[in-house]
Chains A and B, each alone.
Chain A
Amino acid sequence: MKKLLVVLAIVSLQGCTAAGFVIDAVRMAKFDNNEYAQINSIRTTANLGAAKCGTPEVMAVVDNLYYKSAELKNYSASIPRNDETVKMTAELADIVKGLEDRYHSKDPVSPSYCTLKFGLIEKNAVTIQNVIGAKPR
């Protein structure tokens, strides 16, 4: 009898967990093609842009990344029940803003900073892309 009660308790707890996942999935924003395309574009731009560090062409890449990250932040914020993605895209936009500000200041930018910054932007973009890509269809 005791064993049966233990088994029932475990099954009921697992049921609660499963119900929690279902509720989360229902309440979470659905997969959005545009959101996914935007984060993929940021990731790819950062990936290819790192090679431009130390050249005059890097400025155009930096401006482009800044525009794209602000665009994604605004886009994701307009989607209901999208809180976690909004938090992530806002942090990413802040990271990119640091790059933009530095390239538009009078001080020279070191190549090491540029390479590390592009690497961090790409790494975080991959994390966000994985989350956006895993949203329920």
Chain B
Amino acid sequence: MSVEQTIQRLSGVQHPDIQGFAAQADMINKQVLAHSLTRNEADELLGDLQRTAVIAEAAGDLQVKEAIHQVVNGLIALSGALL
């Protein structure tokens, strides 16, 4: 499943935090595809998404943590290939 498909699937999940996260991931994905970020900036933002997963877990929301993990690996591979 591509990054876009994963993000699209997460956008359809009836959970406001997952939808909010999917919107963030979608924006990062688009900026990576448009080469609007440097490699360092993309790496930092992807690290931030992983920190977001830690925050979601501490907040007791394991669904959000799982959703973030599903999409972050794809974004890491994409930014590694494009930037």
Contact = CB atoms under 8 A, between A and B. Distances in A.
Interface of A: 84-85, 87-88, 91-92, 94-95, 98, 102, 107, 109-110, 112-113, 115-117, 119-120, 123-124, 127-128, 130-131
Interface in B5-57: 17, 20-21, 24, 27-28, 31, 34, 36-38, 40-41, 44-45, 47-49, 51-52, 54-56
A110 B41 contact: yes
A113 B37 contact: yes
In the complex, the 4 A-B pairs of residues with the closest C-beta atoms, listed nearest first: A112-B36, A113-B41, A91-B51, A87-B58
Given A84-B58, A91-B51, A123 B31 contact: no
A123 B21 CA distance: 8
For the residues of A in contact with B, the DSSP-based class is helix
Contact of A112 (B24, B31, B59, B60): B31
Q: DSSP majority for the B interface? A: helix
Interface of B: 17, 20-21, 24, 27-28, 31, 34, 36-38, 40-41, 44-45, 47-49, 51-52, 54-56, 58-61
B51 A95 contact: yes
10 contacts: A88-B54, A95-B51, A113-B41, A119-B24, A120-B49, A123-B21, A124-B51, A124-B55, A127-B55, A127-B61
A127 B48 contact: no
A85 B60 CA distance: 11
B31 A127 contact: no
A119 B48 contact: no
Contact of A87 (B31, B49, B54): B54
A131 B59 contact: yes
B56 A127 contact: yes
Contacts of B47: 98
Given A98-B44, A110-B41, A124-B52, A116 B28 contact: yes
A1 B34 CA distance: 69
